[in-house]
Structure 1
């Protein structure tokens, strides 16, 4: 384990857009935003190589970062605002409100840590990463009938002569991964003075999101059943023991996925079984990881879990191409649906576990392709079941966002980490930085489980060769 590092705050302030550049705006939450009120903030970290001193960073790089962030926020100004929640007595719909003078929390820190350790793939203590994550409120006590919760915070940490980390905390209720990706790429482009820049400005027209099934009312009722009338809270934090937890990254290459696919096809032909209907790289990688994790649970305590227990696999499905009507790619907000696949534990850990996993994940994706809102009235209830189960796997992120193309002027990120998976018991997915067509898988597990997972992962890929 790497030596513990020290961290000190150099600066804590705010960043605002240029004066009079963003109009005061109120954005009501759509039915696609409301379910995210049940999730805690996302916490991505972007690490970049940077071979200059702290003084050079403070005098030359930091002013440009602040200025370019200010310009980016001019276009993505809802991130400056607050989520406004109301007490139960009001029974009003939550909304995002941006007022003139609103700003984003922006802090600067310095770490003595080994940048190479932070950006490696091997198991590292999760606590080393927390100083790099900016603080963001998840609750507030209402003084009247309203509660205000900020949506975004940023922290930039310098590792002198080694690197920079840009850390975010943001409430997913404001925007999906596509929207947030557009925002950080806009900021990076302005910082690097490059020509990326989004094709057009964000669209804030909430009327494009149609609600033919009355899901907004269903979700709001579920929300107010759970929220206190005095303390306004976002997210449902699951208690997870972090005392001995480590995080690691695994890469599933395109060759690995092709071998997994061939193994599935071969097994199905051998046994005269129907072929899974959808064997995309996403399905193949997720199926392999899911089976490895089930084997870990079985090895740790095989008597604790019943062979008949349902195991859940939760994921997010993009809505831009699945809804029955067009939504602009620059739409600011959430345009995603929720998927939950279920398989019996004994089948997942059996000889054909990966076929079982590929079937249930692929079948659910195909159902969402046809009708993304099918069963949507149970999204919140289904995900509560998932969160409450110890035998679940939830996916955070997507390998389709090309996060490793986010260049602030120092080249591509050396590493990207999703810190929020520590407490949500999720795994993160991103495109591989160095392996073309590969998928990076981020996990946070107790040390003994991570060792077991590593063994199953490596041995599982060897068998496929």
Structure 2
């Protein structure tokens, strides 16, 4: 494993779930058609920055043993994350296959520069992504035995630390991975607060039989992801060279204003009511700002936006909200770019996204031919979305308080924007963007200027 020279390794460990007795075993989890969609995508990389006022030696001696113990305990519940994806020996299908030797790599590093750089690196302003990459663990890609999780802690002595994870999307989506992180952090925090009990978080449901496959979509997805041309059907950023990351916030009052503006214009123009939530207007606003920044349209002058839909509560019959795995499919939005860039662009964008949500039908219908749908729009570099304001990423406390900042940087590969709830708990929404420097400056101007620019 290679690391940048900007960090030095202090500790490397392999953390395993607690051992089972000789007569026990952990069951394999067959991948379903939702999981298969993400088999070729690079891992999701999420960073949690915390204020930390102690030395590296204090962390190693006092905090690290507790962090490792809590991780092992959490992996007893989330054991698939310590396993690998491989083909089943019985039927050849892909599965998460546990073994007695399963473990998760946990690496502790120390930032080699000025520790005060923590305040800059964990900020919202524009920063080169190359400053963030050394803080992220590497998760190798392997079709024979794909590892699913790697963890890293980077210390900025007396200033802060960063807990980061790289998790394979076929193992679980953001909702499931946050279930894991919240249990790990709560277990670790309980050791520092003896009077507090570990919160009784809902247990993940590992049963994959709750997801029916009447159309045999698994075989369709397997054929698609193993196709030699599969990379042509994957949405990528299309960006080469240096990129910069920044985070922007839409406050609750701003979101409310955009909602009212869109709804008022819809009434004035006699447009039927449509789904207009905080999520919709935040996506619409970000879509317009990015379209102004990079005018990417197809041959018909249409702009494209695709975002993931969580089917846990939508699929029929419904299955548990705590189902572990990936339960996402794409919701595709297409609209005339000139309308989006016009004076009433916020109405057009909200109406397009809201209508697409309202027209969501059956989960199996949504997934049928989804790789071909992605392939059709991939050349036009559509806007895509990572994360969700509903994940509660800022509720993750390892005993050091809530995060100063949470960031997703794997979006540099896909060109997606990353969304999370505002860290202030005021109903706002954070939007993370990674772009070339000039593009990012333009995006920042449009985002700050509202719909008037």
TM-score w.r.t. length of structure 1: 0.89
Structure 1, 346-355 or 100-109: larger mean CA deviation = 346-355
Describe the shift of the 1:381–1:70 C-alpha distance in structure 2 as closer, same or farther (beyond 3 A): same
Corresponding position of 2:149: 152
SS of residue paired to 2:11: strand
Q: State yes or no: 1:321 paired with 2:321.
A: no
1:138: Cα distance to partner? Answer: 1.3
Find the counterpart in structure 2 of residue 218 from structure 1: 220
The 8 Å contact of residues 5 and 128 in structure 1, kept in 2 or not, is answered as no
Tell me what 2:385 maps to: 395
Residue by residue over 1:290-322, the C-alpha shift from the partner in whole angstroms, topping out at 9 and shown as x without a partner, is 011111124xxxxx8678322211111111210
Contact preservation (8 Å) 1:276, 1:355: no
The aligned runs of 1:47-446 (5 Å cut-off) are: 47-85=49-87, 92-111=92-111, 112=113, 113=115, 114-139=117-142, 147-193=144-190, 194-226=196-228, 238=236, 240-270=238-268, 272-298=269-295, 308-368=300-360, 370-390=361-381, 392-434=382-424, 436-446=426-436
In the alignment, which of 435, 443, 449 is matched to residue 453 of structure 1? 443
Q: Tell me what 1:301 maps to.
A: none
Q: Give the distance between the partners of 1:293 and 1:238, measured in 2 at CA.
A: 15
Cα distance in 2 for residues equivalent to 1:158 and 1:64: 16
- Distance, in Å, in 2 between the alignment partners of 1:92 and 1:210 is 19
Structure 1 stretch displaced more, 452-461 or 179-188? 452-461
Q: Deviation per CA, 1:112-132: give whole Å up to 9, x if none.
A: 351111221111111000000
Q: Secondary structure at the match of 2:28?
A: strand
Q: Is the 8 A contact 1:107 1:156 kept in 2?
A: yes
Q: Distance in 2 between matches of 1:34 and 1:17?
A: 25
Bigger mean CA offset, 17-26 vs 183-192? 17-26
Q: CA deviation at 1:13?
A: 2.3
1:188-233 deviations in Å (ceiling 9; x for gaps): 01100154534443222111111122211221221232389xxxx9
Per-residue CA deviation, residues 411-457 of structure 1 (Å, 9 max, x unaligned), is: 10110010101111000000000151000000001111111111111
Q: What is the rounded CA distance, in whole Å, between the counterparts of 1:136 and 1:432 in structure 2?
A: 29
Distance 1:437 1:275 in 2: 27
> How many aligned residue pairs are there?
439
Q: Distance in 2 between matches of 1:280 and 1:10?
A: 46
Shifted more, 104-113 versus 182-191: the winner is: 104-113
Question: Structure 1 residues 376 and 6, CA, compared in 2 at 3 Å: closer, same or farther?
Answer: closer
Matched residue SS, 2:431: strand
C-alpha displacement of 1:5: 9.0
Q: Give the Cα–Cα distance (whole angstroms) in 2 for the partners of residues 181 and 198 of structure 1.
A: 15
- CA deviations over 1:364-399 (Å, ceiling 9, x no partner): 11122x433334212112223343323x11000000
Report the equivalent of 1:144.
none
For the Cα contact (< 8 Å) 2:12–2:106, is it kept in 1? yes
Shift of the alpha carbon at 1:100?
A: 0.7
What is the CA-CA distance between 1:238 and the residue it aligns to? 3.9
Q: State the secondary structure of the residue aligned to 1:190.
A: helix
Q: Assess if the C-alpha contact under 8 Å between 1:276 and 1:362 holds in 2.
A: no
2:193 corresponds to: none
Matches within 5 A, 1:19-58: 19-20=19-20, 23-58=25-60
Shift of 1:91: 8.8
Aligned CA distance change for structure 1 residues 187 and 455 (closer, same or farther; 3 Å): same
Gaps of 5+ in 2: 191-195
Corresponding residue SS for 2:64: helix
Deviation track 1:18-60 (CA, whole Å, cap 9, x = no partner) reads: 2227833311111111111132110000111110011101110
CA distance in structure 2 between the aligned counterparts of 1:379 and 1:197, rounded to whole angstroms: 38
Q: Secondary structure at the match of 2:369?
A: helix
Cα RMSD, aligned residues only: 2.5
* TM-score with structure 2 setting the length: 0.91
Contact kept, 8 Å, 2:47 with 2:407, in 1: the verdict is: yes
Contact 1:182–1:198, Cα closer than 8 Å, also in 2 = no
